[in-house]
């Protein structure tokens, strides 16, 4: 009888403690909304120093965890299909996929795995992580910003971010393209809470 009373008491205390802890203290997991095309991986490369060639990767997937009250608990994982490169010109895309540049047959995937997320204030974040591109693993930092979050019209919760980073091609063993030694990435990520 005493054991049963103690067990009930401990269960009640545990439930009360769980209710006191705010839900936002637990990082929420999100799947990047690629099916709805509410995310994009875009690139921009200088062309001979006269203009820029822009494009995107049409096929990618990923997840992230986000806790606005504990930014350091956030995480990001993304996988990009290199053969899905699209610069709006078929011959150029074929060349970018070739072993002159991405070598998509040998290196079909690019992965990014975060190692640290730092709150820089006013919704701005520094997302440090490892980029595995063209057979090379290098640390990079993505300058990110929280765009917004909340409920959508279909009963789901969403959160969205944008980010930018510059990759030096030589760091990944990729040849200079038309005089460009680097590529700028513009990232837009909208996730659906799981």
Per residue in 16-67, pLDDT (tens digit) is 333 333 334 467 999 999 999 999 999 999 988 889 999 999 999 999 999 9
Q: Please check whether residue 9 lies inside any domain of the structure.
A: no
Looking from the CA of 35 toward its CB, the CA atoms found within 13 Å total: 3
Percent over 90 (pLDDT), the chain: 79
Mean pLDDT, rounded, of the chain: 88
CA proximity to 175, closest of 115, 100, 120? 100
CA proximity to 166, closest of 48, 12, 49, 45? 45
Q: For residue 81, what is the enclosing H or E element? A: strand 75-81
Range of the domain at 100: 24-193
Q: Please check whether residue 88 lies inside any domain of the structure.
A: yes
Q: Please check whether residue 11 lies inside any domain of the structure.
A: no
At 141 the pLDDT is 98
Range of weakest confidence among 1-15, 39-53, 121-135: 1-15
Q: Please check whether residue 7 lies inside any domain of the structure.
A: no
Q: How many domains does the chain have?
A: 1
Segment 73-92 shows an average pLDDT of 97
Q: Please check whether residue 15 lies inside any domain of the structure.
A: no
Q: Please check whether residue 12 lies inside any domain of the structure.
A: no
Looking from the CA of 36 toward its CB, the CA atoms found within 13 Å total: 11
Q: Please check whether residue 140 lies inside any domain of the structure.
A: yes
CATH number at residue 80: 2.40.128.110
At 27 the pLDDT is 79
Q: Please check whether residue 17 lies inside any domain of the structure.
A: no
pTM for the predicted model, two decimal places: 0.83
């Amino acid at each position: 009888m005493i054991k049963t009373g103690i067990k009930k008491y401990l269960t009640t205390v545990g439930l009360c403690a769980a209710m006191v802890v705010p839900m936002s203290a637990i990082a929420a997991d999100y799947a990047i909304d690629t099916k709805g095309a509410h995310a994009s991986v875009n690139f921009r490369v200088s062309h001979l120093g006269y203009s820029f060639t822009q494009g995107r990767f049409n096929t990618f997937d990923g997840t992230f965890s986000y806790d606005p009250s504990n930014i350091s608990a956030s995480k990001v994982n993304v996988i990009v299909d290199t053969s899905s490169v699209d610069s709006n010109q078929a011959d150029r895309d074929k060349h970018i996929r070739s072993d002159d540049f991405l070598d998509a047959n040998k290196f079909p995937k690019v992965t990014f795995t975060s190692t640290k997320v730092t709150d820089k204030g006013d919704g701005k974040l520094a997302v440090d992580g490892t980029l595995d591109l063209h057979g090379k693993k290098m640390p990079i930092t993505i300058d990110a910003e929280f765009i917004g979050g909340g409920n959508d019209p279909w009963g789901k919760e969403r959160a969205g971010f944008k980010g930018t980073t510059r990759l030096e091609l030589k760091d990944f063993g990729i040849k200079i393209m038309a005089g460009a030694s680097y590529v700028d990435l513009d990232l837009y990520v909208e996730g659906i809470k799981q």
